[in-house]
C-alpha cells in the first residue's frame, strides 16, 4: 500500500514537470499558424493562444462558439454559417482553425443526448474528420511514472479543465463545405431537442401539484420548525454531539457482530453507520409516503434504532462484554479521535462561521438554502427554495442526513450548517483511523497478543497509526483550508 501510494503521488507530480497543455498549444500556434488566421473557441472555455513572449493573441481573430446553447435549427445555422447580425467573421464557414482547450463541453453535452443531439453529432464528425477539419495538434499531460500512465480524463473539472486540460487543434481542409456540414448536423434533428424552462415545469414534474404545495405550506413556518431560543440553542454543539454518539452506540451491538472479522470489530464505523443509518431510515419513511417529515419522525427513528440496539445488546451481552475487555483501548482511541476532530472542526467554524465564499458567496448561500428547504419540507422530494411552487431538482441526500438531527433538535440552519461541516469532517477522520488500524491489523505478521484474544498490536502502535490515518486524510490532505483560515483572521488583525 505504501508503494502504491507513493507511486500515485510521484505519477501526479509528473503533471507539473511538464508545461501546461494550453501553453504548449499557444507556442505551437505561434510557430505554425500565420497571424491573421481565424481560430474558434468554445464559450465557457479558454481561447488560445495566450499572450506569450513568442507572440500576441491580438494577431489572430477569434470566433466564439455557443456550444452550450440548447440545440435548435437556429443554433446549428449560427454554428455553421455564423450569426446574421455579426459583421465580423463568425461560424465554422469563416474559421481557419477549431481549437478545443478542454473536454468540458464535449464531455458534459455527451451525457445530455436529448438536449444536445446535434452538438454530440458535431463532435463525432469533428473527431472522424467528416466535418472537414483535420486534427493537426494534440496536447495532453497525464499522471505517469515509470512508463505507467493514469487516465484521469474522468476526473472533476479542477483537473480536466484547469489543472492539465487536453487540447485539440483542427485545421480546415479543402473538403469543408458549409451546406454539407449543415445537412449532416441536421440529421440529428436539433429541432427535437428537449429543454424545459421552469415555467414549463408541470409537464416535466418539476412543479408541485396543488395538493403537494398545500402540504408543504402547512408543514410549519420557520419558527415552528426551528427554535431560535430553544433549550438546544444554548450549547447546540453538545446536543448535536450527543445525538451522534447515542445513535453510534446504538449500532455497536450488531455492527460488532457484522464486522467481527475486523480487528476493531467495526467500532470505528459505528459513527458513520449511526448517523447515515438514521438518515436513510427517515428518508425511506418519508420518500415512500409512509410518514410526513417532522420532529416526531426524527425522534421515532432514533427511538427505534436505540431500541433495536438495546435488544441486540441484551442477546449478545456476553460477547459484547468480551469485546469490550479485549478492545477497550482501541475503542477509546476511536472515541478520542472522533471527539478531538469534532471539537477542532467545530472550533474552527466558531472562529469563522460565515457561510460565504470570497468574493461573491460561491455556492454557500445556495447550499444553505437547499439545506433549509430540505429540513423544512414535509414530503420528498423537497421544495425548491429558488423557484416558488417547484420541487428541488438537485441532489440532496447529504443535506437530508443533516436535516434529521436539525428537526429533532430544532436547530436553526446557520448553526446546523456549521455543525454539519464538523460532522462530516470528524466522521471522515474516524473512518480513516479505523481503516488504517484494520489494514495494519490484518496485514501484520506479529499476532502474539491476538492469539490470546486481545488486541493484535500494542496499544501505542494502534493509537499512532490511527492518528496518522486521520491526520493524513483530514488534517494535511489539503493544507489550503488552514491557509484560508489564517488569511481570514488576518483580515481583522490590524497588526497582521
pLDDT higher than 90, residue 343: yes
pLDDT higher than 90, residue 249: yes
Helix-helix angle 178-186:117-128, to 10 degrees: 130
Question: What is the predicted pLDDT for the residue at 476?
Answer: 82
Label the pairing between strands 97-100 and 167-172: antiparallel
Label the pairing between strands 144-145 and 148-149: antiparallel
Q: What is the CB neighbour count within 10 angstroms for residue 429? A: 27
Give the least confident one: 102-111, 264-273, 384-393: 384-393
pLDDT higher than 90, residue 87: no
Question: What is the predicted pLDDT for the residue at 230?
Answer: 80
Rounded Cα gap, residues 357 and 164, in angstroms: 25
Average pLDDT over residues 41-56: 93
Torsion of CA 69, 74, 75, 79, to 10 degrees: -160
Rounded Cα gap, residues 488 and 240, in angstroms: 27
Question: What is the predicted pLDDT for the residue at 100?
Answer: 97
pLDDT higher than 70, residue 118: yes
Q: Could you write out the DSSP letters of every residue in 423-442? A: HHHHHHHHHHHHHHHHHHHH
Over the chain, what is the mean pLDDT? 89
Q: What is the CB neighbour count within 10 angstroms for residue 151? A: 8
Reported as a single tens digit per residue, the pLDDT across 165-177 is: 999 999 999 999 9
Question: What is the predicted pLDDT for the residue at 41?
Answer: 95
pLDDT higher than 90, residue 96: yes
Rounded Cα gap, residues 36 and 71, in angstroms: 31
pLDDT higher than 80, residue 197: no
Rounded Cα gap, residues 251 and 267, in angstroms: 9
Reported as a single tens digit per residue, the pLDDT across 451-474 is: 444 445 677 888 888 888 888 888
Rounded Cα gap, residues 55 and 100, in angstroms: 20
Confidence of residue 339 (pLDDT cuts 50, 70, 90): very high
Number of H helices, E strands in the chain: 18, 7
Give me the residue label for grid cell 415555467: 199
Question: What is the predicted pLDDT for the residue at 446?
Answer: 45
Question: What is the predicted pLDDT for the residue at 281?
Answer: 97
> Nearest-5° angle of CA 428, CA 297, CA 269?
20
Give the least confident one: 10-24, 285-299, 403-417: 10-24
Helix-helix angle 364-376:413-443, to 10 degrees: 100
Confidence of residue 445 (pLDDT cuts 50, 70, 90): very low
Q: What is the pTM of this model?
A: 0.66
Please state the φ and ψ torsions of residue 38, each to the nearest 5 degrees: -105, 125
Average pLDDT over residues 150-177: 90
Question: What is the predicted pLDDT for the residue at 201?
Answer: 63
Domain residue ranges of the chain, discontinuous segments joined by + = 2-192, 212-491
b/e string for 25-59 if b means 16 or more Cβ within 10 A? bbbbbbeebeeebbbbbbeebbbbbbeeeebebee
Helix-helix angle 295-315:236-258, to 10 degrees: 40
Residue bearing the bigger pLDDT, 137 or 446: 137
- With pLDDT > 70 as the criterion, what percentage of the chain qualifies? 95
Question: What is the predicted pLDDT for the residue at 2?
Answer: 77
Q: What is the DSSP letter of 388?
A: T
Please state the φ and ψ torsions of residue 332, each to the nearest 5 degrees: -65, -35
Amino acid at each position: 500500500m505504501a508503494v502504491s501510494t507513493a507511486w500515485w503521488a510521484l505519477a501526479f507530480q509528473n503533471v507539473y514537470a511538464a508545461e501546461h497543455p494550453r501553453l504548449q498549444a499557444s507556442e505551437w500556434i505561434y510557430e505554425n499558424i500565420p497571424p491573421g488566421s481565424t481560430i474558434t473557441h468554445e464559450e465557457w472555455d479558454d481561447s488560445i493562444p495566450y499572450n506569450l513572449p513568442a507572440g500576441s493573441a491580438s494577431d489572430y481573430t477569434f470566433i466564439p462558439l455557443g456550444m452550450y446553447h440548447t440545440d435548435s435549427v437556429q443554433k446549428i445555422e449560427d454554428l455553421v454559417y455564423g450569426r446574421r447580425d455579426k459583421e465580423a467573421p463568425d461560424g465554422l464557414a469563416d474559421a481557419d482553425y477549431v481549437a478545443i482547450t478542454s473536454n468540458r463541453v464535449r464531455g458534459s453535452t455527451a451525457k445530455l443526448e436529448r438536449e444536445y443531439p446535434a452538438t454530440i453529432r458535431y463532435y463525432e464528425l469533428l473527431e472522424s474528420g467528416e466535418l472537414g477539419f483535420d486534427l493537426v495538434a494534440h496536447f495532453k499531460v497525464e499522471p505517469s511514472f515509470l512508463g505507467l500512465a493514469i487516465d484521469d480524463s474522468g476526473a472533476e473539472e479542477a483537473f480536466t479543465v484547469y489543472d492539465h486540460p487536453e487540447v485539440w487543434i483542427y485545421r480546415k481542409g479543402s473538403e469543408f463545405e458549409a451546406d454539407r456540414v449543415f445537412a449532416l448536423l441536421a440529421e440529428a434533428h436539433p429541432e427535437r431537442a428537449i429543454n424545459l424552462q421552469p415555467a414549463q415545469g408541470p409537464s416535466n414534474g418539476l412543479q408541485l401539484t396543488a395538493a403537494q404545495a398545500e402540504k408543504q405550506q402547512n408543514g410549519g413556518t420557520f419558527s415552528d420548525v426551528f427554535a431560535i431560543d430553544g433549550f438546544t440553542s444554548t450549547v447546540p454543539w453538545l446536543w448535536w454531539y450527543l445525538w451522534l454518539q447515542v445513535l453510534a452506540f446504538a449500532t455497536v451491538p450488531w455492527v460488532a457482530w457484522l464486522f467481527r472479522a475486523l480487528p476493531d470489530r467495526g467500532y470505528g464505523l459505528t459513527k458513520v453507520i449511526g448517523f447515515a443509518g438514521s438518515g436513510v431510515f427517515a428518508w425511506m419513511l418519508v420518500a415512500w409516503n409512509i410518514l410526513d417529515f417532522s420532529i416526531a419522525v426524527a425522534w421515532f427513528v432514533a427511538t427505534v434504532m436505540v431500541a433495536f440496539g438495546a435488544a441486540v445488546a441484551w442477546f449478545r451481552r456476553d460477547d459484547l462484554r468480551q469485546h469490550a475487555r479485549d478492545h477497550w483501548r482501541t475503542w477509546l482511541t476511536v472515541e478520542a479521535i472522533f471527539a478531538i476532530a469534532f471539537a477542532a472542526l467545530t472550533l474552527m467554524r466558531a472562529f469563522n462561521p460565515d457561510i460565504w465564499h470570497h468574493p461573491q458567496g460561491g455556492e454557500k448561500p445556495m447550499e444553505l438554502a437547499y439545506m433549509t428547504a430540505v429540513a423544512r419540507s414535509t414530503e420528498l422530494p423537497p421544495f425548491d427554495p429558488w423557484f416558488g411552487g417547484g420541487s428541488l431538482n438537485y441532489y440532496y441526500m447529504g443535506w437530508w442526513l443533516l436535516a434529521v438531527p436539525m428537526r429533532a433538535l430544532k436547530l436553526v440552519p446557520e448553526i446546523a450548517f456549521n455543525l454539519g461541516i464538523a460532522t462530516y469532517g470528524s466522521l471522515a477522520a474516524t473512518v480513516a483511523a479505523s481503516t488504517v488500524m484494520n489494514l495494519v491489523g490484518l496485514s501484520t505478521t506479529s499476532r502474539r497478543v491476538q492469539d490470546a484474544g486481545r488486541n493484535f498490536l500494542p496499544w501505542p502502535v494502534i493509537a499512532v497509526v490511527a492518528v496518522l490515518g486521520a491526520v493524513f486524510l483530514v488534517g494535511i490532505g489539503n493544507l489550503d483550508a488552514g491557509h484560508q483560515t489564517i488569511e481570514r483572521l488576518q483580515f481583522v488583525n490590524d497588526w497582521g
